[in-house]
Structure 1
Amino acid sequence: MRRTALWLTALAAALVFALPGAAEAQNTRSWVSGTGNDAQPCSRTQPCLTFGGAFAKTNAGGEINCLDSADFGVVSITRAVTIDCTGVEAAVEGVNVNAGATDVVTLRGLDFDGQGISANGAVFLNGAALHIENCVFRDYNGASEGFGIAFTPNASAELFVSDTVLTHNGSAFDGGAVLVRAQVGDVTKAIFNRVDAQDNFFGFKAQGTGSSGAVINMTIRDSVSAGNRSNGIVGTTSAGGAAIVMMIDRSTSSHNAAGFGVIADGPETTIRIGNMSIAGNINGVGVSNGGVLQSYGTNQINGNSSDGIASLTPIGLH
């Protein structure tokens, strides 16, 4: 009940501060606390209660920090900001980024908890770039989809995720840890370093269907996709859809219950793999509908019900 009340308080704060005549942002650095109050100035000695309340009082390019461990609700971000709660178990139910074309947003040290009722954790619609560092995303499975991270920009943008864990996201039929999309004619770039996707529906998913002229460039490195209910790592698009170019290096996709460890689906999809461990899946690797899966010949693909190595196209080391 307290978490629901905090969610409603945060939403109300966001709406109030968005109204004409609301208090203008003024802090370079703002603070939140579980004992704070959004009517306060969000200083270290008089902190706010929610991220929504603190954001309303933080200047563009400013920073929000946490004084203690609490649930700080939801927040809609419309300008450049950093939310950094490193060293504090700071919970957040959701972050929606709909910022300006040159705005960069950083989320660091946050515990995203959908509680089984929220649809998505971090949603990116507009902005230049989103950085997610040292975060946890769990239990976003309250909708037909449900992703820990849904990076679906309306213009060209970049996503950087590092040292992050995503678990138990997605419904029984869709959703998962990470979704990356691109709109018609745009270029979306996504880089994942040391990211673990465990016990989701999908692990990592790049979706380009219907986005003509778009490009999704995606790199996964030193990461794990394991124990998911469907594909561990998938790039899927349609004829005339976005071109998906994915590089996977020094990573593992294992023990995914259905689908593939890695699959390239659609004629505009090319996935390149090197130094990967792919084991314990129903299908190790595969291609469908004209997709291309290229291997540098440095992978360990064994112990799957079907390894699928015949689907690999050799590519030389350079």
Structure 2
Amino acid sequence: MRRIALLAIATGCFVPLLASAPASAQATRTWVSGVGDDVNPCSRTAPCKTFAGAISKTATGGEINCLDPGGFGGVTLIKAMTLSCGYTMGSILVSGGPGITINAGATHNVSIRGIHLTGINQTASPGTIGIRILAGAAVSIEDSVISNFSQQGILDSRTAGNTKLFIRNSVISHNTGSGIGLGATNGSVTEIENVSSINNLFGMSTTTGNSILIRRSVFSGNSNSGIETDGGAQANVTDTAISNNGIGVQANGTVRLSNSDISFNTTGVSSTGGQTYGNNRISGNTSPGTALVAAVPAQQ
């Protein structure tokens, strides 16, 4: 299956390791600037040039902020960390690898806020994955734009159990593989809210063992499927638009739909595990596809 092949390719990507500065030299808050210099201490008055230059000068659990607009380069996060550029233009433009790789400790939490990630996808060595998650307890991606990568926009391939992923208020578009690829292998839970995953191969695809809650989101223009679950995965979808895809909902696992629109797809639903609470609107598809079965609410 092409989606699985793309996930397999991604696991072979090179992951750079960054040396850590002595703890005494690390600050809880550091800064990057378009006119900074990585020889600086990354302070407010002497900012660094890149995220990679700032990370070794930032303490575990600290935060890197963008002082002014700039392109700050790809980075690997190996500890609990926040990258935050919510109030200015913070960009990562890469070729030849991922934009952000998260390879943090098993108990570490990582937050990405207000970052624009773009893969240079018209070269012999394109950007591969927007945000690649290898390890870490919980990852939060907020107010970000991820586009034009040759594999996935977001790829979660953690192997530890009970991991968490939160994606909110973000746009993921024009990626060759899945916009959101959920390939964690040991019971990961993902929450997607107010997210547009558009013009990818799959809007969201998930492998066995993943549980996903999707609210108030858009999956549109994806050439294969808007939402896809493998057997053993489950997704609850509410207040969501699924339109203009090859297949709107491809439920090889369980997909429970509530108050959502499945419209203008080539096939509305291809399902062995699609369920409805009876308040969805399936219309305007070239073929409606498989009929959804009634979902049975849990008894209180």
Query: What is aligned with 2:250?
Result: 263
Task: Confirm or deny that 1:292 pairs with 2:294.
Answer: no
> Displacement of 1:309 after TM fit?
4.9
SS in 2 for 1:132: strand
Query: What is aligned with 1:244?
Result: 233
Query: What is aligned with 1:79?
Result: 79
Query: What is aligned with 1:159?
Result: 165
> Displacement of 1:308 after TM fit?
2.2
Query: What is aligned with 1:98?
Result: 103
TM-score (norm 2): 0.87
> Displacement of 1:23 after TM fit?
4.9
> Displacement of 1:38 after TM fit?
0.7
> Displacement of 1:316 after TM fit?
3.9
CA contact (8 A) 1:285 1:308 kept: yes
Query: What is aligned with 1:282?
Result: 266
Could you tell me how far apart the structure 1 residues matched to 2:289 and 2:297 are? 21
CA contact (8 A) 1:232 1:262 kept: yes
Written as runs of structure 1 = structure 2, the 5 A alignment for 1:1-318 is: 17-18=18-19, 22-24=21-23, 26-93=26-93, 94-116=99-121, 117-141=126-150, 146-156=151-161, 157-170=163-176, 175-183=177-185, 186-208=186-208, 215-237=209-231, 243-256=232-245, 258=246, 260-265=247-252, 269-287=253-271, 291-310=272-291, 312-316=292-296
Q: Which runs of 5+ in 2 are unaligned?
A: 1-15, 94-98
> Displacement of 1:263 after TM fit?
1.2
Write the letter of the residue equivalent to 1:108. Answer: R
Identity percentage of aligned residues: 38
Q: Which runs of 5+ in 1 are unaligned?
A: 1-13, 209-214, 238-242
CA contact (8 A) 1:301 1:309 kept: no
Runs (4 or more) in structure 1 with deviation over 2 Å come to 22-25
Write the letter of the residue equivalent to 1:303. Answer: G
> Displacement of 1:176 after TM fit?
2.2
SS in 2 for 1:232: strand
SS in 1 for 2:210: strand
Write the letter of the residue equivalent to 1:131. Answer: S
> Displacement of 1:307 after TM fit?
1.0
Write the letter of the residue equivalent to 2:228. Answer: V
Could you tell me how far apart the structure 2 residues matched to 1:199 and 1:87 are? 27
SS in 1 for 2:228: strand
SS in 2 for 1:40: coil
Task: Provide Cα deviations, 1:80-113, integer angstroms capped at 9, x if missing partner.
Answer: 0111101211101411001111100000000011
Write the letter of the residue equivalent to 1:179. Answer: G
Write the letter of the residue equivalent to 1:251. Answer: T
SS in 1 for 2:233: strand
CA contact (8 A) 1:60 1:80 kept: yes
Could you tell me how far apart the structure 1 residues matched to 2:109 and 2:184 are? 18
SS in 2 for 1:118: coil
CA contact (8 A) 1:125 1:151 kept: yes
Could you tell me how far apart the structure 2 residues matched to 1:316 and 1:23 are? 56
